A and B are shown apart, each in its own frame.
Chain A
Amino acid sequence: MYKLIIILLLGCFSTQVMAQERVMTASEISAFKTAVIETSRASKTIKSDFIQYKHLDFLDNDIETIGKLQFKAPGFVKWEYTKPYVYSVIFREDKLLINDGGTKNAIDIGSSKMFKKLNDLIVKSVKGDMFDDNDFTVTYFITDKANKAVFVPKDKKLTEYIASFELLFDKKEASVTEVKMIEPSQDYTQIIFKNRLVNTTINDAVFTQ
C-alpha cells in the first residue's frame, strides 16, 4: 500500500514536471517571434501530414481524422482529409473550393468578412506568423518540448465559438507542430503535424478542382 502511494505520488509529480511551462520573458518573446517570422518567410511551400483529434467530453474516444496539408506562397492552402473520409478544402484567392467525397462546391468568400478572416487565420496559423493580429491577445510560454503561443480572441462574438487557441512550435525549426482550438465548453480540436516538408515543388494544379 505504502509503495502504491509513493508510485501514485511520483506519477503525479512526474506528470507535473512533464507539463511544466513558464511564461516567456520579453527578450525571449522577441527572439521567438523573429525566428518564427524568419521560418515563415523562408517557407515558400509547405507539405505536411496531420492527425486531427476532436475531443467531446461525453465521448469514450476522441474522433480521429487523418489528412494532408499543402501550402504555397502567397496564400494557397489545400486542407485535405483522407481517412476515414475524403474531403478537401482549397483556399484560393476569394474562393473556397470544397470537395466532399466527390460532391464539389465553390463558395465565394469575397463578400464575406467572416470567411476572409477565417482564410487569413488559416494561412497565418499554417505559417505561424500571426502574432501581430489585433484580434487576439497573445501569451507566450516555454514548455519542456516546445514553444507555445496562446491566442485569446478579443471580439466577444468570436469568444462564443473559441475560448482560445494554442500553437505549439518546434524549438529548433520555429515551425508549427500542433494547433489546438479550445471551445468555451472546453471541448477541443487538436491537430498534430507530422512529416513536414518545406520548399519542395508544389504544382499550382493542386489548388484547383
Chain B
Amino acid sequence: MRYLLSSVLLFAVFSCSPKILKGLEEQPSEISQITNPYFADTAQDYVYKAKIDVYGKYFGGILIIKKVNDTSHRVVFTTEFGSKLFDFLYEGNTFTKKFIVPDLDRNIIVNTLQKDFKILITEKVDVQSEYISEIPEILYKTEFGNRYNYYGFSDEKKLVVILNASKSKEKIIFTFQRTNNEVIKKLRIQHLNIKLNIDLEYLNK
C-alpha cells in the first residue's frame, strides 16, 4: 500500500516538469552497479497498450518488448489491428532497424525512440555517484553517452524513476508503477525538451 501510494505520488509529481535534481545532497556510494529488473526476463513477453501524444497529435498502438537472449532485446510497435509500425533490435550496443514504416522513418523520430527504449531495457549500469532525495529516496547518477541517467529507488529499494539529463537540465523522465512481480503495470515516458509523452499500460491476459 505504501509502495502504491508513493508510485501514485511519483506519477503526480513528475507529470508537472519537476526540478528534482536541484539541491541534491551527495553521499558516499556503497554500491558500484545498479540493476533495472523490469525487462530482464527472457521467459516473459512484455506487451503494452501504448498511447502516444506528440505535439498534441495523439495515436495509439501496441508496444512489445522481449528479451530474446542474454544480450538482445526486440522492441516492436504495431497498430491495434496488428500491422507493424517499427521493429527494433538491440544487440549489446548495436542497434538495428529491422523494419519501420516510411512515415516514421525520420532521423529525429528514430533517434528519439531508439534512445528511449535503450534506457528502458538497459539492465546493469555503473554508478558514478549517489544522492539523498525525498521522492524517490535515493538517486544514483550514471553515464549515458554525453548525458546522465539518474536512477531513483524508493525506500523499498524498488526502481521507480529514471531521469535522463544533461549537465544542467532534465530531458526525459521515465516513471514506473510496478505489479506484484517484476512487471511494470504502468509506465510513462515524458520528454521535457520536445512535446512527446508515451504512456504504456501492461496488457493482462
Contact = CB atoms under 8 A, between A and B. Distances in A.
Contacts of B76: 56
The dominant DSSP class at the B interface is: strand
Interface residues of B, number: 28
B66 A100 contact: no
A183 to B, nearest CB: 6
B47 interface: yes
B45 A61 contact: yes
Interface residues of A, number: 27
B111 interface: no
Given A85-B49, A103-B58, A64 B80 contact: no
B205 interface: yes
Contacts, number: 62
A198 to B, nearest CB: 23
Nearest to B98: A185
B60 A87 contact: yes
Interface of B: 43, 45, 47, 49, 51, 58-60, 62, 64, 66, 68, 74, 76, 78, 80-84, 87, 98-99, 101, 201, 203-205
14 contacts: A54-B78, A56-B64, A63-B62, A63-B203, A84-B203, A84-B204, A84-B205, A85-B49, A85-B203, A98-B60, A105-B58, A181-B82, A185-B99, A187-B84
Closest 10 CB pairs of A and B: A189-B82, A100-B60, A54-B82, A84-B203, A85-B49, A59-B45, A87-B80, A58-B74, A58-B68, A58-B66
